[in-house]
Chain A
Amino acid sequence: MGPSNSQSDDSAGAESESGREPTTPNWVKIQGIILLVLVLLVLAMLVPALFGVEGGGHGPAAHTPGSRG
């Protein structure tokens, strides 16, 4: 997941040369929304697992009534 090579950075992003406060690049906004949705989905799965709440749809036991008791 980390930086995996060392090519040119040129990381000014949407920074302007005129000294104004740089804006967040568009790709960050768009991909940020996608990532946020993904993180929320994982949290929705994680919370029931952490607090021992049965999700109702996961695990073989949920699919095989009485077979693993």
Chain B
Amino acid sequence: MIMTPGFRKFMLTAHVVCSVGWVGALAAFLVLSVAGLISDHAETVRASYVASGLITGFVIVPFALGSLLTGIIEALGTQWGLFRHYWVIFKLAIAVTATLMLLLKTGPISDIADLAAETALSVSDLRGLKFSLAGHAVGGLLILLWAAALAVYKPRGATRCGRRKRQEPPAAPSTVGDRTELR
């Protein structure tokens, strides 16, 4: 399944926007988490976690799911394939892992945001959870940067599936439209 050049560009744009947006929103989340953790002002702490909840629900999760979906479509629709190159498999595994981790954390994030909105969340409250959220944000950023580096460097290495595909005779001439991408 090879996409037309126009659709491929569209999907690539969507994928880059979602992925970069995911990293940026997670960086903002990290700043808010650290502010909530170290600030001496109760209002700042409360505001940080309310904002964290909103960013998670309305920015990070949609961008994460969008990045995963557009990445899979992009891979399946081009000659890179989803399982032909190790770096693509690694990026897929990283994105799935990061998304699962994120979805696991949306519950606690939502809970602490609700708590901050409803009660006077003090500086010392929920210290363990605050550390946990900041730590997960750091971990999430690191693995997203790992994925970004893989996308840029594209380290060599074709899988068994990829080698087999390359040995197959070329497809019909009608699909040649996007074939120049690997040259």
Neighbouring A residues of B172 by C-beta, 8 Å: none
Q: Does A18 contact B (CB under 8 A)?
A: no
Bitwise, B87-114 to A at CB < 8 A (1) or not (0) is 0101111111100110010011001100
Within 8 A of B (CB), among A31-51: 31-32, 35, 38-39, 42, 45-46, 49
**Contact (Cβ within 8 A) A2 B71:** yes
Interface of A is mostly: loop
**Contact (Cβ within 8 A) A3 B151:** yes
**Residue ranges of B at the interface with A (Cβ–Cβ < 8 Å):** 12, 15-16, 19, 67-68, 70-75, 78, 80, 84-86, 88, 90-97, 100-101, 104, 107-108, 111-112, 115, 119, 125-129, 132, 143, 147, 151, 154-158, 162-163, 181-183
**Pairs across A and B, CB under 8 Å, 8 listed:** A3-B71, A3-B74, A4-B12, A5-B151, A27-B155, A59-B108, A60-B108, A64-B126
**Contact (Cβ within 8 A) A28 B97:** no
How many contacts between A and B, using CB within 8 angstroms?
A: 129
Task: Give the distance in Å from the alpha carbon of A68 to the alpha carbon of B121 in the complex.
Answer: 13
**Contact (Cβ within 8 A) A3 B80:** yes
Task: Give the distance in Å from the alpha carbon of A51 to the alpha carbon of B120 in the complex.
Answer: 33
**Contact (Cβ within 8 A) A63 B181:** no
Q: Does A16 contact B (CB under 8 A)?
A: no
Contact of A42 among B74, B100, B158 (CB under 8 A): B100
Say how far A3's CB is from chain B's closest CB, in angstroms: 4
Neighbouring A residues of B107 by C-beta, 8 Å: 59
Task: Give the distance in Å from the alpha carbon of A30 to the alpha carbon of B1 in the complex.
Answer: 32
**Contact (Cβ within 8 A) A58 B91:** no
**Contact (Cβ within 8 A) A59 B183:** no
Most buried by B among A2, A3, A42, A62: A2
